[in-house]
């Protein structure tokens, strides 16, 4: 039997297991998947935990439930990949592979910023990119009486680049509902020159920031967190004071990638952006947050990547040329508070534009415009995630590559 080995049973690894168990001949290929943890988290739900919109049970399930029959599930820590020997070292055994898929994701690295893990960490400084961080922040917000709230992004790339903005919008709504919005001063601090990585979208978002009285501090390259004075300081020595700092620390690929000598400075694996084959090793493929491709690090992107990658793995096993197909397609809801959301749809080359999605004229979802229907779409994503996305079931009417139907290109999208 030939061995196909998947590293990581998060969003991408689980989807690949589900796709490949159906696509590879069972008599020739054995499929195995390795992950260190028992629990699979619905990470988009971490945004809602701090505001008591979701509870713990809505964002976690046992990971094994989503691994299909016929796939060997190994719950162990991965120590090292030896790509020249086609082997992977786990904590107490070594596995061999013919084809390897790296799906080990990315995680926060607060230790990369001086002072971030100082005495105020989890007292007045929080993250919401981890399950524990989101819950600690929820407990803090339940009793916080107001002051300077700074929502901060350390550096790009981060997973779900819109999540910190959504956090700022939801915070505005949350404090309004609590009747203390006048006691909370919200500032959004970003290393980018505007609210988002895509200029047309930034314009739409700037308008919302203004409307909700959220100040923006762009071009802020953080140098350190001063725990004594309660301020963040950048390399230009600009200081921003806070009472409560909600930060998205540097995001990095797992240390395993560094130990294996396979990553860039942030432990992301150099990957062909259209085929998802590793640039260094032909029988190694990379998907999701673990890659260095210039697409958003998002579950929706991993879902589109998985469809192309599943086809490419089959082509590779037959010795055929790979499809250079993945176009960077991303499809993201942006919660804007008060039960509304925006939707953006874009790829490597095409910025988000106005229009309707997925159908021309009828929508029902609106692009780059706030609507209640978009908010329902965001909430429905959780059901879609557990019931369709992880199982590799195609989402009706949403193709793997970006469709230009329903999009308005002939007027300026601002
Ligand atoms: C707050 C927040 C909001 C988000 N909102 C959205 C959203 O609205 N829409 C959207 O599409 N996406 C969103 N995302 C992003 C989305 O969750 C990720 O892009 C997606 O989960 C990436 O999938 P992945 O499989 O690449 O990584 P993951 O799902 O993180 O999986 C990686 C897996 O690898 C395992 N692993 C890593 N290293 C090792 C090791 N050494 N040994 C063993 N196992 C290992 C981990 O345990 C983990 O299970 C959000 C993320 C966050 C944090």
- Three state DSSP letters for 200-242: HHHHHHHHHHHHCCEEEECCCCEEEEECCCCEEEECCCCEEEC
Q: What is the mean pLDDT of residues 377-402?
A: 91
Closest CA to 162 of 13, 364, 301: 301
256 C-beta closer than 6 A to ligand 1: yes
Could you tell me if the CB of 43 is within 6 A of ligand 1? yes
The SS3 call for residue 286 is strand
Q: Which of 306, 300, 302, 405 is nearest to 356 (CA)?
A: 405
> Quick one: 112 exposed, middle or buried, by C-beta within 10 A (0-12, 13-18, 19+)?
middle
Give residue 95 CA to ligand 1 midpoint distance, Å.
24
- Residue-wise pLDDT for 153-163, tens only, equals 999 999 999 99
pLDDT number for residue 411: 47
State if residue 47 touches ligand 1 by the CB under 6 angstroms criterion. yes
pLDDT tens digits along 360-382: 888 888 898 899 999 999 999 99
Question: Going along 66-165, which residue ranges are E strands?
Answer: 71-75, 78-82, 87-90, 94-96, 99-102, 106-108, 125-126, 147-153
Tell me whether strands 106-108 and 125-126 are parallel, antiparallel or unpaired.
Answer: unpaired
Rounded to the nearest angstrom, the distance between the alpha carbon of 356 and the centre of ligand 1 is 28
For range 336-356, the mean pLDDT: 92
Is residue 390 pLDDT above 80, yes or no?
Answer: yes
Report whether residue 37 contacts ligand 1, using a CB cutoff of 6 Å: yes
Tell me, rounded to whole angstroms, the distance of Cα 304 from its chain centroid. 13
Q: Coil, strand, or helix at residue 10? A: coil
- Ligand 1 centroid – CA 242 distance (Å): 29
The yes-or-no verdict on residue 414 having pLDDT over 70 is no
CB 2 within 8 A of CB 30: yes
Q: Round to whole Å and give the CA distance between 293 and 14.
A: 20
CA angle 65, 66, 67 (to 5 degrees): 95
Contact 147, 243 (CB under 8 A): yes
Mutate to test the pocket of ligand 1, among 15, 49, 289 (most ligand atoms within 8 A of CB): 289
Is the minimum distance from the CB of 202 to ligand 1 under 6 angstroms? no
Q: pLDDT per residue over 229-285, tens digit each? A: 999 999 999 999 999 999 999 999 999 999 999 999 999 999 999 999 999 999 999
What's residue 73's pLDDT? 98
331 bridge partner residues: 345
How many angstroms is it from 298 CA to the middle of ligand 1?
8
The percent of residues above 90 in pLDDT, for the chain, comes to: 87
Give the Cβ contact number of residue 286 at 10 Å. 31
Output the six-digit token pair for 359.
């159908």
Q: Is the CB of 149 under 6 A from ligand 1?
A: no
Question: Sign of the C-alpha dihedral, residues 337, 342, 348, 351?
Answer: negative
Evaluate: CB of 249 within 6 angstroms of ligand 1: no
Measured from the CA of 134, which atom of ligand 1 is nearest?
1
On whether the CB atoms of residues 260 and 81 are closer than 8 A, the answer is: yes
CA of 8 to the centre of ligand 1 (A): 9
Closest CA to 244 of 156, 145, 153, 173: 145
- Pocket flag, ligand 1, residue 299 (CB < 6 Å): yes
Predicted local confidence at residue 410, as pLDDT: 55
> Is 159 near ligand 1, meaning CB less than 6 Å away?
yes
| Cα 5 to ligand 1 centroid, rounded to whole Å | 18
Dihedral in degrees, nearest 10, Cα atoms 220, 224, 227, 231: -20
C-alpha separations of 25 from 22, 68, 168 in Å:
8, 15, 48
- Cross-strand partners of 89: 80, 94
CA of 102 to the centre of ligand 1 (A): 13
Atom of ligand 1 nearest to the CA of 289: 26
Ligand 1: residue whose CA is nearest its atom 48: 10
Lowest-confidence pick of 56-70, 85-99, 363-377: 363-377
What is the structure's pLDDT at 224? 98
For ligand 1, is residue 352 a contact (CB within 6 Å)?
A: no
């Amino acid at each position: 039997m030939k061995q196909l080995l998947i590293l990581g049973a998060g969003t991408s690894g689980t989807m690949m297991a589900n796709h490949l168990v159906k696509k590879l001949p069972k008599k020739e290929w054995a499929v195995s998947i390795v992950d260190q943890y028992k629990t699979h988290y619905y990470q988009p739900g971490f945004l809602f935990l701090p505001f008591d919109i979701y509870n713990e049970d809505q964002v976690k399930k046992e990971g094994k439930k989503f691994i299909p029959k016929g796939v060997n599930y190994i719950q162990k820590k991965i120590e090292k990949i030896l790509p020249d020997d086609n082997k992977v070292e786990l904590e107490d055994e070594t596995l061999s592979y013919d084809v390897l898929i790296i799906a080990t994701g990315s995680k926060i690295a607060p230790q990369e910023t001086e002072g971030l893990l100082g005495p105020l960490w989890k007292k007045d400084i929080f993250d919401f990119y981890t399950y524990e961080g989101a819950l600690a922040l929820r407990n803090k917000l339940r009793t916080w009486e107001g002051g300077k709230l700074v929502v901060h992004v350390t550096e790009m790339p981060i997973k779900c680049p819109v999540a910190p903005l959504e956090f700022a919008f939801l915070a505005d709504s949350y404090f309004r509902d609590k009747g203390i919005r006048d006691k909370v001063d919200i500032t959004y601090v970003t290393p980018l020159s505007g609210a988002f990585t895509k200029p047309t979208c930034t314009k739409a978002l700037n308008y919302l920031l203004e409307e909700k009285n959220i100040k923006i501090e762009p071009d802020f390259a953080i140098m350190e967190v001063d725990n004594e004075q309660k301020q963040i300081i950048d390399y230009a020595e600009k200081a921003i004071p806070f009472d409560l700092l909600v930060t998205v620390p540097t995001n990095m690929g797992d240390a395993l990638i560094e130990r294996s000598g396979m990553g860039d400075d942030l432990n992301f694996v150099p990957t062909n952006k259209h085929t998802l084959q590793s640039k260094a090793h032909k029988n190694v493929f990379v998907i999701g947050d673990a890659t260095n491709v210039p697409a958003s690090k998002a579950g929706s992107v991993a879902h589109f990547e998985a469809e192309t990658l599943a086809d490419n793995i089959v082509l590779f096993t037959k010795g055929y040329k790979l499809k250079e197909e993945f176009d960077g397609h991303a499809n993201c809801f942006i919660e804007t508070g008060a039960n509304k959301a925006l939707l953006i749809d874009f790829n490597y080359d095409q910025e988000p534009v106005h229009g309707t999605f997925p159908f021309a004229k009828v929508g029902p979802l609106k692009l780059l415009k706030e609507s209640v229907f978009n908010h329902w779409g965001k909430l429905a994503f959780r059901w879609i995630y557990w019931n369709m996305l992880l199982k590799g079931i195609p989402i009706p009417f949403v193709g793997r590559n970006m469709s230009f139907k329903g999009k308005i290109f002939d007027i300026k999208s601002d």
